[in-house]
A and B are shown apart, each in its own frame.
Chain A
Amino acid sequence: MTASVDRLSRLLNLVPYLLGRPGIRVADAAADLGVTEDQLRDDLELLWVCGLPGYGPGDLIDMSFDGDSVTITYDAGIGRPLRLTPNEALALIVALRLLAETPGLPNRESVERALAKIESAAGDAADTAGRVAVRLPANTDRLADAQAALARGRALRITYYTAGRDETAQRVIDPMRVLFASGQAYLEAWCRRAEAVRMFRLDRIDAMTELEEPAAPPARAQPTDVRDGVFQPTPDLPLVTLRVGRQARWITEYYPCEQVTEEPDGRWLVSLRASDLRWARRLVLGQGLAVEAVGPPELVEAVGEEARAALSAYQ
Chain B
Amino acid sequence: MGAAVFTTRLPTSREDAASVDSVSRNRTERLVNLVICLLSTRRFLTAAQIAATVPGYEHNPESPKEHEAFQRKFERDKSELRDLGVPLETGSASAFDTEPGYRIARPEYELPDVLLEPDEAAAVGIAGRLWQHAGLSSAASSGLLKLRAAGVEVDPQATLGVEPVVMVDPTFSPLTGAAGDRQAVTFSYRPPEADEAMRRRLQPWGVVCWRGRWYVVGHDLDRDAARCFRLSRIVGEVRRVGKPGAFEVPDGINLIDYVAQWSGPSEHSGRAVVRLRHGRAAGVRRWADDVTPGEEGDLATVRYSCAERLAGWLVGYGADVVVLDPPEVREAIVELLRRNAERHPAPALPPARLEALRANLPRPLGVNGAEQAWSREVR
Contacts and interface: CB of A to CB of B under 8 A. Distances in A.
A9 interface: yes
Nearest to A302: B361
A79 to B, nearest CB: 9
B208 A285 contact: no
Contacts, number: 462
B162 A91 contact: no
A313 B92 CA distance: 89
Contact of B212 (A111, A168, A181, A309): A181
B192 A11 contact: no
A9 B138 CA distance: 13
B286 interface: yes
A293 interface: yes
Interface in A5-22: 5, 7-14, 16-17, 20
B305 to A, nearest CB: 16
B179 A232 contact: no
A113 interface: yes
A47 B361 CA distance: 70
Contact of B167 (A12, A81, A227): A227
Interface in A265-315: 266, 273-279, 281-289, 292-293, 297-298, 300-314
Nearest to A189: B369
Contacts of B372: 163-164, 231, 255, 274-276, 279
Interface in B71-112: 80, 83-87, 108-112
Interface string B227-240: 00000110000000
Nearest to A124: B108
Residue picked from B35, B345, B371, most chain A C-beta under 10 Å: B371
Interface stretch (B4-12, B25-33, B59-67): B25-33
Interface of B: 24-25, 27-29, 31-33, 35-37, 39-40, 53-55, 80, 83-87, 108-117, 119-124, 126-128, 130-132, 135-137, 139-140, 142-151, 160-167, 173, 176-177, 179-181, 192-193, 195, 204-213, 232-233, 254-256, 260, 280-283, 286, 312-313, 315-319, 321-322, 330, 333-341, 343-347, 349, 354, 357-358, 360-376
7 nearest A-B residue pairs (beta carbon): A183-B212, A198-B369, A282-B316, A128-B180, A304-B344, A88-B143, A249-B192
